[in-house]
Amino acid sequence: MALTRLVPLVALAALLVAMPALAIGRFSPSVFKFVTTVPDDGKEDSTGWQQASAELNFVDTRSVIPRAWSCRVRIGMPLRTSALGRISPESAAEMSANIATDASGNVMHRRPEWLTAEFCSAFKDEMLSLFAGRHPRLGARVNSP
Amino acid sequence: MTPQGLLPVVYRFYPRGVDEYDPGYKDTEQHRRLVRARVQAGADGNPWGILLERIRAHFPGAIMHNGSTHLPTGQMDGGYVGWLELPPRGWYEVHRKIGFLISFLAPCYVIYGASIIIAPTTSGRTQELRFTFPPDEDPYVRTITGEILSVFPGYELIPPEVGNVIVPDVVAGNKMMGQTTLYLCLFTDAW
């Protein structure tokens, strides 16, 4: 009986050690390293583009043996918008980490279990939706790298 | 424009039966063609910049967003994305805009209204999309439509009954195969 209880805990501990960008707790902003891909052209509207690609790891602990998988995502947003001004890479990373964390929780609980491809698709869609809802003037985008 | 008429266009830019996770997806002739179309659409002197300037001239002081600054990277979308912000109509509305999308894959466009409204969802907010417009949005819609047809003559409006038709054998945006629509293929998933 004790062994039965121990197995998932050991598995979870191993996963926690192996996966620094785990969705248990919160994703760290340091996971999202934004780089400029289109420079600011100085025009009036939104301008420039910055993006970060990351492999995000997930663990579903709702079953006896926790299941782990990862999704590759690319998050992009302008360098500057007429409504918000300049968006620093640090600010972009902070917003991305918060949105990714919340999207993970929202999507995970929609089904008792997930196929990886379906989860990743729904996760990216949820991130896009949360960005639109929380930061409607930002114009952030989420897709696959 | 009918769904049957638009499908051949979609299939020129999206490989049939190939998921974006499949190895080789990015090497398909269709995907390479789509990337080239995006880069070309984002190149200097494109008509999108002219359209934005003309719309801005009609509404000085209004906040306008160019959602296509990423196009030189060759990533995302089959159309230009822009919107004009309007003031929220009440406490329940967090954000309101008139959005306009111009495809660079086919001669078509969309104008829509959208609001972020307070709602009992996990995020506390949801997006409402409109393809018919209340009287206070009509002047914006008429002006933007006029400028679209001036810069992109001959382009046709794609109504939701056409745009929301599923294209079952391609992927676009973040949708799985079987969930992708004509709107997603020809324009964007960022509404």
Q: What is the pLDDT along chain B (191 residues), one digit of tens a residue?
A: 899 999 999 999 999 999 888 889 999 999 999 999 999 999 988 999 999 999 999 998 899 999 999 999 999 999 999 999 999 998 889 899 999 999 999 999 999 999 988 877 766 778 889 999 999 999 999 999 999 999 999 999 999 999 999 999 999 988 889 999 999 999 999 99
Structure confidence at residue A5 (pLDDT): 47
Q: Is the pLDDT of residue A120 over 70?
A: yes
| CB-closest option in A46, A102, A117 to B66 | A46
From chain B, the residues in CB contact with A81 under 8 A are 65
From chain B, the residues in CB contact with A143 under 8 A are 75-76, 173-174
Residue A24 banded pLDDT, cuts 50, 70, 90:
low
- Residues of A contacting chain B (CB within 8 angstroms): 37-38, 44-49, 51, 74, 76, 78, 81-83, 102, 106, 117-118, 121, 124-125, 128-130, 132-134, 136-137, 139, 141-144
The domain in which residue B179 lies consists of 3-186
Look at B76 and A44 and tell me if their CB atoms are within 8 Å: no
With H, G, I as helix, E, B as strand and everything else as coil, classify residue A66: coil
Assigned domain for B148 exists? yes
Q: Is the pLDDT of residue A51 over 80?
A: yes
Hey, what are B80's tokens? 């230009």
Structure confidence at residue A3 (pLDDT): 46
From chain B, the residues in CB contact with A76 under 8 A are 70, 75-76
Q: Is the pLDDT of residue A21 over 80?
A: no
Q: What is the ipTM of this complex?
A: 0.89
A15 φ/ψ angles, rounded to the nearest 5 degrees = -65, -40
- What CA–CA distances, in Å, run from B27 to B17, B18, B34? 14, 11, 11
Q: How many domains does chain B have?
A: 1
Assigned domain for B191 exists? no
The domain in which residue A99 lies consists of 2-143
Q: How many domains does chain A have?
A: 1
Identify which of B77, B30, B50 has the alpha carbon closest to the alpha carbon of residue B153.
Answer: B50
Is the overall model pTM greater than 0.95, yes or no?
Answer: no
Structure confidence at residue A12 (pLDDT): 47
Structure confidence at residue B84 (pLDDT): 96
